[in-house]
Structure 1
Amino acid sequence: MQDNYKEKDLRQLILSTIEAVGMNTELKKDECGINMSYNFIGDYVGYDKKRLVDAWKEMQADIPFEQYVKTLTMHELGHAIDREALQASLERTLEILDMKNSHCPRELYTNIDLLSVLLEEQKMDITFEETAWRNAKYLNEAAGLVDDFTFEFIKKHSLATYKDLYEEDLALYNKLAEERTLQPV
């Protein structure tokens, strides 16, 4: 069914979820390769139908597509609720982006100081993600759109993406730190 989901039906599903939780955040089609996202500068939720379907399939779980979309919609609205904190992070986020653009990936992952900045960014991302999921849980509890098991499964799967990357980079950081302390002065 999800492969045959018409664009207007998907849009209506997302809009009805936004309405059901009592919010009026704008919705935009955004074919950027990210399933759903909240743009805190423009204050809108964006969605990419193809990526939504692909990400849903990647979960390899027996969760209806509609429940997946409703859950992710509430998660993105959770970011909207946290918009002020996201805005407050903009200056530091831009500094980090500038740093990343000024160095090649090899430098970022072999220079302990640069890698520490990547870890800082990842910790910020995880904090924002966890906050958005807490907010989404409140929205879901009030509206009763998705059962708790399904909600928690999708949340865990989504957060794992961020946490796994952080743990991988943290292990690399610790290895670099150990090598630094073992080097003769």
Structure 2
Amino acid sequence: MTERTKNKSIKQLIQSTVAAVQMDIRLKPDSSGVNMSYNFILDYVGFDTQRLQQARNEMQTHIPLDEYIKILTLHELGHAVDREALMDSLPRTMEIYKMKKSHPFHQQYEDLELLEMIIEEHKMNILFEETAWINAEELNRIYRIVDWHSFEKVKTHSLLTYQELYEKDLALYNRLVAESSEPAAS
């Protein structure tokens, strides 16, 4: 199968999943390096066909590519169901974004106030991810798109990615707090 044919097949699979759950949302191919994402501001699902294939291969458990794509599509549609909450988070998300743009990376991880904002962002992301998975579960329960075993494997793998980043930054934050409360050596 040629690369062009494979890309077309992946797009059709995403489209058929969206249609199967009776949602109307724009799809936008991109080459951002992110397998799939929901742009809540512009209300579309973006997908990178190359990254989708790579990400599926990074899982320890083998999930057929078509199942993996259907599961991720359900997840992104789960974000779309939660669009209002995502829109409500926009002001704080913009504050965090501006902070990141105005401070060098190393400073963000050395300054407790800035690191607190990063921790807050992790918590928001995890909450939105968990909510999207709950919504995806409901869509799958109603429309029976994929088997539950595969669904749970992809869900667990996806959530672990966010959790690991959060725990790493939280450990650094806790270490910095402990260091800042130690009495200075005389």
TM-score normalized by the length of structure 2: 0.95
Bigger mean CA deviation after superposition, 125-134 or 54-63:
54-63
Establish whether residue 33 from structure 1 lines up as the match of residue 33 from structure 2. Answer: yes
Is contact 1:27–1:45 with CA below 8 Å preserved after alignment?
A: yes
Bigger mean CA deviation after superposition, 36-45 or 4-13:
4-13
Alignment of 1:5-154 (within 5 A): 6-154=6-154
Shift of residue 38, structure 1, vs aligned partner? 0.4
The amino acid that maps onto 1:47 is: F
SS of match in other structure, 1:6: helix
Equivalent position of 1:164 in the other structure: 164
- For 2:37 and 2:169, the matched residues in 1 are separated by 24
- For 1:104 and 1:31, the matched residues in 2 are separated by 26
The amino acid that maps onto 1:142 is: I
The 1:58/1:3 distance shift into structure 2, 3 A limit, reads farther
Is contact 1:82–1:132 with CA below 8 Å preserved after alignment?
A: yes
The amino acid that maps onto 2:79 is: H
Shift of residue 62, structure 1, vs aligned partner? 1.6
Shift of residue 117, structure 1, vs aligned partner? 0.5
The amino acid that maps onto 2:10 is: L
Deviations 1:140-185 (A, max 9, x none): 1111111111101100000111000000000000000000110339
SS of match in other structure, 1:27: strand
Give the number of equivalent residue pairs: 185
The 1:149/1:2 distance shift into structure 2, 3 A limit, reads farther
Is contact 1:2–1:65 with CA below 8 Å preserved after alignment?
A: no
- For 2:75 and 2:3, the matched residues in 1 are separated by 22
Is contact 2:61–2:153 with CA below 8 Å preserved after alignment?
A: no
- For 2:155 and 2:6, the matched residues in 1 are separated by 25
Shift of residue 101, structure 1, vs aligned partner? 0.8
Deviations 1:41-93 (A, max 9, x none): 11110100011011011113221000000000000000000000111111111
